Structure 1
Amino acid sequence: MSAVRLLRVPVLLCLSHVWLCHGACVEVDSDTEAVAGQGFKLSCISCKMRGEVPASATVDWWFMAKGESEFTHIYSYAEMSSYILDDHFDDRLAWDGSKKTYDVEDGSIYILNVTFNDTGTYRCLFDRMLIFPYYEYRTTTVKFITLNVVGHATRGMASILSEVMMYVSIIGLQLWLLVEMVYCYRKIAAAGEEALRESEAEYLAISSEGKDKCAGVPVAE
């Protein structure tokens, strides 16, 4: 048991070190199902790999409705300024990303009052300029999100499986702890019985030795 605890220490230190190094920006996929009449966040995160290099970034969003074949430019964000570029989304799009002035890493937007006409494919484009002492390097990141608008919230199969796996893990951990407790109890009980037997044998040996000594002493008449 002590060896296991000792092994956990470097593992926890490594995990904490990784969190400190990479915890500032984590790229996650956007949800893909929205409920009509409610709000919905289109997530688009692009972490900068060279964190020590100054940079500037702009974010643009395009939308292609279901059944159509071309994207329409609907939203643009640059240096704390945002613009809705499509009448279909007038007063329904809001910036929900990073609050930094220049180099944003979270370019998410929020749709207010989702409609069924919002079903389709969204394209997020990060245009980032890395500024080195003697030159500039431009990078682009493109992400696609296929959004389906439904009348009522539904639970996807992935969500159900995740919940089942969580409960299975909890039950498995509890069973493992129970087995460990039983094992340790038996080890302790066996060690106690062994120590008791040794004490009893030692006591009997001392008693026998005392009797032998008494038997060898002559009795005065």
Structure 2
Amino acid sequence: MPLGPLRPSPLVEQAAQRLRQQIAAGHWPVGSKLPGETTLAGELGVGRSTVREALRALAGAGLVRPRHGAGVFVIATEPVEDWPTRLGRAAVTDVYEVRMGVEVQAARLAARRRTPEDVSTLRAALEARRTASAGDDAAFVDADIALHTAVVAAAHNPVLADLFTEFAPVLRQGLVTLLHLTRLRRHDRNTGDGTHAALVEAIAQGDAEAAAAVLLEELEGTLGLLRGREGAA
């Protein structure tokens, strides 16, 4: 199937899309070498620089790989999604299950490793969550996530912190939607205050198992609500 000339518009994007379609259709199987830049440019009706940029985009997507002195070879038929993209497509309940594992362990570590500065930050975040209870649901969720972020930070494990940072945008959207649909805050503007206060206190007291247990109970309750919402959708 000939590639065909392109219409005037962002040519690099069009070229990359056309080449991606050909790869996905098996025109160039995995392991095969793509035609040279001059040939591709002629078939697409663009300059070699446009083809070069399009190939660079395909390489960034994990579809092709240049080999010095040998050419450009197909290494996959589907683009490799980065982690934030995959999280964005995931069900919020799936993300939440992973969050539980990450954050419950972080709570244990936080209770063992917290510094006086960490405890002060946690207490301030708890108070900010209470203050935000008078605002809208989004502001409340932001304050809630800020408190949980402080818990993870107190664990002093950069990998856990990075993981939680990746989860945060998906969690935020899911929680805002949950509060809107369930109207949990209609009768309790500061829902979950008791468990969050107990979590902060357990970390401050250095009680790792109490911190983990309180947080697990809190997260399991929210996960149950999220599952109920998915089931009703």
Tell me the TM-score range normalised by the shorter chain: under 0.3
Bigger radius of gyration: 1
Q: TM-score, normalised by structure 1?
A: 0.25
Greater fraction helix = 2
Q: TM-score, normalised by structure 2?
A: 0.24
Greater fraction strand = 1
